[in-house]
């Protein structure tokens, strides 16, 4: 098994590409070990000293590290844990929650979700992260930043110069975008 790695705009995260499906559909974010009980892979990674977050994408794993830990020391351990997990044939997540079908009545919210799904999420996935819609109120769009996007030094620029400008261009009712 050959696992590729890619740097991300966030120096505290590294993207691991195992060359096979990780989540298939959807994503899973584990910002701490406390919430990782439903993912054997995330639990294994949190067992490594210095791992502070795990984000599982369609075909990648983004790992966040503590500030006092160097990637030169941690990267081989993460590679080994990922390889060990996949060669053991264990599931990546247990009881993956199914997305509830929401009845969309608000046209503005429907347009926001469509733009985020088709234009934003594919772009940020290339950097090992994800951005999901939370809610819209009084002209403000609230988004969840996950994976390498969470805590990234350039995430504010991505939100303001990229996502906010795009949404304001296509949807005049949007006046601002904020992270949660």
| CATH fold for domain 107-179 | GMP Synthetase; Chain A, domain 3 (3.30.300)
**Do residues 85 and 44 make contact, with C-beta atoms less than 8 angstroms apart?**
yes
Rg of the chain in Å (alpha carbons): 17
* Cβ within 8 Å of residue 21, ≥6 positions away: 58, 59
Amino acid 105: pLDDT: 56
pTM over 0.85: no
pLDDT at 70 over 70: yes
pLDDT at 180 over 50: yes
pLDDT tens-digit map of 110-169: 999 999 988 888 888 888 888 889 999 999 999 988 888 877 778 878 888 889 999 999
pLDDT at 101 over 50: no
User: Rounded to whole angstroms, what are the CA distances from 107 to 85, 102, 103, 163, 168?
Assistant: 43, 13, 11, 19, 15
Largest CA distance in the chain: 51
Amino acid 157: pLDDT: 80
Q: State the chain's mean pLDDT as an integer.
A: 89
- In this prediction, residues 1-9 reach a mean pLDDT of 92
| CATH fold for domain 4-88 | Ribosomal Protein S8; Chain: A, domain 1 (3.30.1370)
Phi-psi region of 19 (alpha: psi -120 to 50; beta: other; left: phi over 0): left
E-strand ranges in 67-175 read 129-137, 140-147
Show me where the domains of the chain are located.
Answer: 4-88, 107-179
pLDDT tens-digit map of 90-100: 999 997 555 44
């Amino acid at each position: 098994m050959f696992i590729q790695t890619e740097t991300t705009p966030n120096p505290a995260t590294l993207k691991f590409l195992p060359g096979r499906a990780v989540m298939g559909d959807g994503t899973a974010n584990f910002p701490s070990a406390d919430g990782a009980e439903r993912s054997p892979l995330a639990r294994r990674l949190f067992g490594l000293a210095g791992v502070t977050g795990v984000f599982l994408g369609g075909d990648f794993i983004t790992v966040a590290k503590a500030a006092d830990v160097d990637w030169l020391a941690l990267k081989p351990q993460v590679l080994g844990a990922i390889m060990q997990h996949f060669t053991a044939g264990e599931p990546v997540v247990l009881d993956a929650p199914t997305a509830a079908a929401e009845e969309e009545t608000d046209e503005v919210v429907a347009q926001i979700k469509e733009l985020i799904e088709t234009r934003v999420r594919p772009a940020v996935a290339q950097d090992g992260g994800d951005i999901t819609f939370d809610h819209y109120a009084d002209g403000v769009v609230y988004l969840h930043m996950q994976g390498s996007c969470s805590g990234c030094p350039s995430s504010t620029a991505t939100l303001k110069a990229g996502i906010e400008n795009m949404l304001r261009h296509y949807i005049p009712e949007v006046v601002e975008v904020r992270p949660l």
